Amino acid sequence: MGLADSGRMPKPLTQLLNTARKYSLWIYQWGLACCGLELGAAIGSPRYDVMRLGVIPFPSGARQADLVVIAGTVTDKMAPPIRRLYEQMPDPKYVISMGSCSNCGGPYWDSYSVTKGVDQIIPVDVYVPGCPPRPEALLEGIVLLQQRIQQEDMAARWRGDPIVVGA
Amino acid sequence: MEATAVDERRQPWLDALRDALGDALVGHEIAGADIWVRVERTAWRRAAQACRDRLGCDYFCFISGLDWKSDVDLAGEKVWDPAPPVSSGAEAAGDGRYQTGVAGGEDRFQVMARLFSTKEKMGITLKADLDAEDPRIESLVPLFRGADWHERETWEMFGFTFDGHPGLRHIYLPGEFEGYPLRKDFPLLAREVKPWPGLVDVEAMPGEPEGGAEGAEAEGAQAEGEGGEG
Amino acid sequence: MAAVTEYQKAAYIAGQAADARVNIELEAEGMTLNIGPQHPATHGTLRIVVRLDGEQVIWAEPVCGYMHRGYEKLSEVRTYPQITTLVNRIDWLGSFANEVPFILASEKLMGVEAPPRAQWIRTILFEMGRLGNITLFLGEMGVQLGALTPVFYAFRDREHVLNLIEAATGGRFHPNYDRIGGLKEDLPKGWGTEVKGAMTRVRGFCDEMEELLLGNEIFETRSRGIGVIPAAMAAEYGLSGANIRASGVDWDIRRDGDSPLAWKHCDWKVWTHPDGDSFARYWVRLQEVREATRIIDQLLDGLPSGPIQAKVPRIIKVPAGEAWVHTDNPLGEMGYYVVSKGGLGPFRTKIRTPSFSNISILPWLLKGVYVPDVITILSSLYFILGDIDR
């Protein structure tokens, strides 16, 4: 949009668009390891339903997703596919790092084949701690992300400015 | 009594192997409802064949390696090392069950395989010593197809070469990985750079100098903490 | 956070941590298809490179290692309680079942026997781990074949089991409850009654799966005769658990091994199937889930009272020696070969995982198979990536 481009987005319009965006996230679940099961429980289980937050699972591919949840241990061998699939996602995109393995290496912090945290490869918006975090913890992470999206200035992303976390 | 019962079932296996291999069988142990047999390096495939044909071991469990080197100076805590150090020395009739690995000498490396018989419901562990400079041994792939992946993994982790294997290449690690991770002199770099933070058992009171005065001592205390929770 | 449109790290990453290069000779015909490592049907990060001639596979090579975390090396720098924490993440659905062989091997070296109550509770939790694991399989094989409903039922009914494991141990599926000499603490009050209720629910789930899937014509057509594994081949490759029982081999370590756990105290049956195809593997696992619920019911009825932990020193040092213990885990035969030199932690731990051997049969099994059947075979062999890659 020309408005976003030139950096002159009026406040009410930003609010409206952000509200729309935060309630229509399409989540690309990357269940790598045990956290993937809790991710599956959050998404597929009728108890911890993630759809009630407006987050829809199972896009047809990375190119149609805007939120990716890296759930599980990131190994050095897996790092290039993660990077590649992250780059395939269109902007604006968000990343949630779920579980201590993808936050910082977790219980495998001293392993020779584990990347100590997925934030070494891709930028992360929300870290959800736990080993594994309960599905409710993931839902809280998504809610935090939604609050963050609400405060976002879309023009900043377009300009390429660093995103500042709102209050 | 249990010991007699074990002997009755496993002693015939030992006898059959001795009959098949003769002098190549250099060590054995029957204990704890299990049997270990150590063979000469050159008799590895013959031993596995004898297990398959004469003992009826049709099930291939695993192949892996052992690195007995124990005097490596790495920063990681040597939790396997008992304190005070137990006396070393090769045991007389045993098969390398407890053996202090000699740095760079012979018998540092061993390959071990586990085979099982689904009819008799009993298994056997085979071991063989390898040359420390050039650890190589015959491949068991012609006998058991399942050995393929296990030998690839053992090559990758230890550097043992298996002669006759269809293609030794990486199975777990990326292609450019350097070194053999499960060898004892392969350091875990994260622990070299930064010792495990949990070594410090007691945090300093505010105002006191912080420091690792209790660091070394605290390893025992920390372990006690671990054992105490258990 | 920097703007997300820069590409400067891409080349660095690609150089540093490249994928395994599979030796593929270029051929004029045949299309090389890369399934994975991110794929809904591979249950995790397994990559299978297949070469196709039309719809048929002429060559297949699984590339694993995308979840290799180096358990055996990590075990060399950790004490026994620390390894127990780590080890239940190998087969991350089977939870408690991962800890048991390791603890049994350490107890064997120490010469310590856990009290009967602990052994019985261990068995109950082991079988609950089996439930947590295989119920997901029952639903999820349906998904791979196109039936979307069963997996939601599976997630729903697993929750009952996971809640109860959490009530007893504190973790939904990483319990860290087993200790050398016994268990961490006793069960909460009223747990047994709740578990019985959950078992009834799981049995109801099994009946639902039988109705939804086993009797379904599409499921039968897509799985009968697909991926037939003869018994001798299964044994040679090291297939274990339900995979080898579905090929007709009557072998169950719970019954045939000399385990101190409580399976010998109850009346249960080992299920085998002569066919060895994907349908047989599904069928055997369904029966095993039902059987597991019966085992748990019987064990709860006869649970002995008493201490929950044998007398072990506070700082556990396992005497020198080597021990091998294997159990019939949900995925197959899992075993630990523990080499101890008398210290606080093991000198070497070899972890024998079932899925590693289960997958090694794929290059042989997938030859000549059509592409949709590849998915059927993968899901019927049932592996967990943590189990393959350790």
- Nearest CB among C2, C66, C155 relative to A75 is that of C66
Confidence at residue B94, expressed as pLDDT on a 0 to 100 scale: 36
- Nearest CB among A77, A110, A113 relative to B191 is that of A110
CA B116, chain centre distance (Å) = 18
Chain B residues with CB under 8 Å of A80 CB are none
pLDDT-derived band at A163 (thresholds 50, 70, 90) equals: low
Q: What is the CATH number of domain B11-189?
A: 3.30.460.80
Confidence at residue A143, expressed as pLDDT on a 0 to 100 scale: 93
Out of A108-117, B105-114, C7-16, C211-220, pick the least confident: C7-16
Out of A97-101, B218-222, C165-169, pick the least confident: B218-222
The more confident residue out of B195 and C293 is C293
pLDDT-derived band at B99 (thresholds 50, 70, 90) equals: low
In 3D space, the residue among C253, C122, C243 whose CA is nearest the CA of residue C187 turns out to be C122
Out of B44-48, B179-183, B213-217, pick the least confident: B213-217
Confidence at residue B196, expressed as pLDDT on a 0 to 100 scale: 64
Is residue C28 predicted with pLDDT exceeding 90? Answer: no
Give how far B176 is from chain C: nearest CA, Å.
7
- Nearest CB among A76, A109, A116 relative to B174 is that of A76
How far is residue B161's CA from residue A25's CA, in Å, rounded to a whole number? 51
C positions 143-202 inside 8 Å of B (CB): 179-181, 184
pLDDT-derived band at C139 (thresholds 50, 70, 90) equals: confident
Angle of CA points B190, B220, C322, to nearest 5°: 75
Confidence at residue A1, expressed as pLDDT on a 0 to 100 scale: 55
Contact between chains at B82 and C341 (C-beta distance less than 8 A):
yes
Confidence at residue B170, expressed as pLDDT on a 0 to 100 scale: 87
Is residue B44 predicted with pLDDT exceeding 50? Answer: yes
- Nearest CB among B173, B181, B188 relative to A110 is that of B188
Chain A residues with CB under 8 Å of C330 CB are none
CB atoms under 10 Å from CB of C28, counted, come to 4
Contact between chains at C72 and B167 (C-beta distance less than 8 A):
no
C238 to chain B: closest CA residue: B60
Is residue A126 predicted with pLDDT exceeding 80? Answer: yes
In 3D space, the residue among B111, B161, B112, B103 whose CA is nearest the CA of residue B135 turns out to be B161
Is residue C264 predicted with pLDDT exceeding 90? Answer: no
List, in order, residues 6 or more apart from B53 with CB less than 8 Å away: none
The amino acid sitting at B110 is Q
Chain C residues with CB under 8 Å of B220 CB are 315
Range C201-222 average pLDDT: 88
Give how far B206 is from chain C: nearest CA, Å.
30
pLDDT-derived band at B184 (thresholds 50, 70, 90) equals: confident
Chain A residues with CB under 8 Å of C74 CB are 108, 110-111
How far is residue B76's CA from residue C185's CA, in Å, rounded to a whole number? 32
pLDDT in tens, B5-20: 556 788 888 888 888 8
- Nearest CB among C9, C19, C174 relative to A34 is that of C174
How far is residue C12's CA from residue C232's CA, in Å, rounded to a whole number? 47
Q: Is C389 on the interface with B (CB under 8 A)?
A: yes
Chains with 3+ CB–CB pairs under 8 A to B are A, C
pLDDT-derived band at B229 (thresholds 50, 70, 90) equals: very low
Is residue C40 predicted with pLDDT exceeding 80? Answer: no
Range C152-163 average pLDDT: 87
The more confident residue out of C15 and B134 is B134
The more confident residue out of C181 and A29 is C181
Strand partners, C349: C338
Contact between chains at A112 and C89 (C-beta distance less than 8 A):
no
How far is residue B162's CA from residue C281's CA, in Å, rounded to a whole number? 34
The more confident residue out of C351 and C342 is C351
In 3D space, the residue among B161, B120, B158, B122 whose CA is nearest the CA of residue B139 turns out to be B161
B6 to chain C: closest CA residue: C258
Is residue B91 predicted with pLDDT exceeding 60? Answer: no
Confidence at residue A97, expressed as pLDDT on a 0 to 100 scale: 93
Range B47-60 average pLDDT: 89
Is residue B165 predicted with pLDDT exceeding 70? Answer: yes
How far is residue C352's CA from residue C337's CA, in Å, rounded to a whole number? 8
pLDDT-derived band at A2 (thresholds 50, 70, 90) equals: low
Q: What is the DSSP pairing of strand A94-98 with strand A126-128?
A: parallel
How far is residue C211's CA from residue C225's CA, in Å, rounded to a whole number? 20
Angle of CA points B222, B225, B230, to nearest 5°: 135
Confidence at residue B204, expressed as pLDDT on a 0 to 100 scale: 63
The reply to whether omega before A132 is within 30° of 0 (cis) is: yes
B76 to chain A: closest CA residue: A110
Is residue C44 predicted with pLDDT exceeding 80? Answer: no
Range B175-201 average pLDDT: 75
Is residue C24 predicted with pLDDT exceeding 70? Answer: no
- Nearest CB among C10, C38, C92 relative to A85 is that of C38
> Contact C240/C247 with Cβ under 8 angstroms?
no
The more confident residue out of C173 and B5 is C173
Chain C residues with CB under 8 Å of B166 CB are none
> Contact C351/C390 with Cβ under 8 angstroms?
yes
Confidence at residue C293, expressed as pLDDT on a 0 to 100 scale: 92
pLDDT-derived band at C46 (thresholds 50, 70, 90) equals: confident
Confidence at residue C285, expressed as pLDDT on a 0 to 100 scale: 92
Range A91-98 average pLDDT: 88
Is residue C306 predicted with pLDDT exceeding 50? Answer: yes
Confidence at residue B201, expressed as pLDDT on a 0 to 100 scale: 52
Q: Which of B53, B158, B160, B172 to mutate to test the interface with C (most CBs of C within 10 A)?
A: B172
Contact between chains at C156 and A107 (C-beta distance less than 8 A):
no
Q: Strands, E, within C173-287: which ranges?
A: 178-179, 182-183
Q: Which of B188, B192, B193, B199 to mutate to test the interface with A (most CBs of A within 10 A)?
A: B188
B positions 159-188 inside 8 Å of A (CB): 172-174, 181, 186, 188
Confidence at residue B105, expressed as pLDDT on a 0 to 100 scale: 28
How far is residue C381's CA from residue C168's CA, in Å, rounded to a whole number? 31
On average, the pLDDT of chain C sits at: 85
- Nearest CB among C18, C236, C342 relative to B58 is that of C236
Chain C residues with CB under 8 Å of A74 CB are none
Confidence at residue C197, expressed as pLDDT on a 0 to 100 scale: 92
For chain C, the straight-line distance linking the first and the last C-alpha, in angstroms and rounded, comes to 34
Confidence at residue C39, expressed as pLDDT on a 0 to 100 scale: 67
3-class DSSP assignment, residue C233: helix
Contact between chains at B189 and A111 (C-beta distance less than 8 A):
no
Confidence at residue B222, expressed as pLDDT on a 0 to 100 scale: 38
Confidence at residue B16, expressed as pLDDT on a 0 to 100 scale: 87
Confidence at residue C203, expressed as pLDDT on a 0 to 100 scale: 92
Place of tokens 């993660």: A82
Range C149-173 average pLDDT: 87
B positions 59-118 inside 8 Å of A (CB): 76
Alpha-carbon distances of C362 from A163, B145, C62, C238, C317, rounded to whole Å: 47, 12, 7, 12, 41
Q: Is A113 on the interface with B (CB under 8 A)?
A: yes
3-class DSSP assignment, residue B118: coil
Q: Strands, E, within C117-209: which ranges?
A: 178-179, 182-183
The more confident residue out of B132 and C14 is B132
Which of the residue ranges A41-50, A156-165, C161-170 has the most confident prediction, judged by mean pLDDT? C161-170
Confidence at residue C119, expressed as pLDDT on a 0 to 100 scale: 92
B8, burial (CB in 10 Å: exposed 0-12, middle 13-18, buried 19+): exposed
C21 to chain B: closest CA residue: B175
CB atoms under 10 Å from CB of A164, counted, come to 10
3-class DSSP assignment, residue C245: helix
Chain A residues with CB under 8 Å of B181 CB are 112-113
What region does B107 belong to: left with phi over 0, alpha with psi -120 to 50, or beta? Answer: left
Helices C116-145, C371-381: crossing angle, 10 deg rounding: 170
Is residue B134 predicted with pLDDT exceeding 50? Answer: yes
Chain B residues with CB under 8 Å of A113 CB are 172-173, 181
Is residue A16 predicted with pLDDT exceeding 50? Answer: yes
pLDDT-derived band at B102 (thresholds 50, 70, 90) equals: very low
Q: Is C173 on the interface with A (CB under 8 A)?
A: yes
Q: Assess: ipTM above 0.90.
A: no
Q: Is B204 on the interface with A (CB under 8 A)?
A: no
The more confident residue out of C105 and B93 is C105
For chain A, the straight-line distance linking the first and the last C-alpha, in angstroms and rounded, comes to 26
Chain B residues with CB under 8 Å of C235 CB are 58-60, 118
Q: Is C9 on the interface with A (CB under 8 A)?
A: yes
Contact between chains at C251 and B112 (C-beta distance less than 8 A):
no
Q: Strands, E, within chain C: which ranges?
A: 31-35, 47-53, 56-63, 178-179, 182-183, 321-329, 332-340, 348-352
Is residue A161 predicted with pLDDT exceeding 90? Answer: no
B180 to chain C: closest CA residue: C73
CA C132, chain centre distance (Å) = 10
pLDDT-derived band at C281 (thresholds 50, 70, 90) equals: very high
> Contact A124/A98 with Cβ under 8 angstroms?
no
Confidence at residue B194, expressed as pLDDT on a 0 to 100 scale: 66
Angle of CA points A151, A155, A159, to nearest 5°: 130
Strand partners, C326: C335
Contact between chains at C89 and A107 (C-beta distance less than 8 A):
yes
Chain A residues with CB under 8 Å of B172 CB are 113
Range C191-204 average pLDDT: 91
Range C302-314 average pLDDT: 87
pLDDT in tens, C51-70: 888 888 888 888 888 889 98
Range A111-129 average pLDDT: 89
Chain C residues with CB under 8 Å of B33 CB are 258
Q: Is C53 on the interface with B (CB under 8 A)?
A: no
Q: Strands, E, within A13-161: which ranges?
A: 27-31, 67-71, 94-98, 126-128
How far is residue A110's CA from residue C70's CA, in Å, rounded to a whole number? 9
On average, the pLDDT of chain B sits at: 72
B221, burial (CB in 10 Å: exposed 0-12, middle 13-18, buried 19+): middle
Is residue A165 predicted with pLDDT exceeding 70? Answer: no
Contact between chains at A109 and B186 (C-beta distance less than 8 A):
no
Is residue C27 predicted with pLDDT exceeding 60? Answer: no
State the count of interchain CB pairs (< 8 A) between B and C: 167
Confidence at residue B200, expressed as pLDDT on a 0 to 100 scale: 52
pLDDT-derived band at C286 (thresholds 50, 70, 90) equals: very high
Chain B residues with CB under 8 Å of A111 CB are 188, 190
In 3D space, the residue among B97, B92, B121, B113 whose CA is nearest the CA of residue B13 turns out to be B121
How far is residue B58's CA from residue B56's CA, in Å, rounded to a whole number? 6
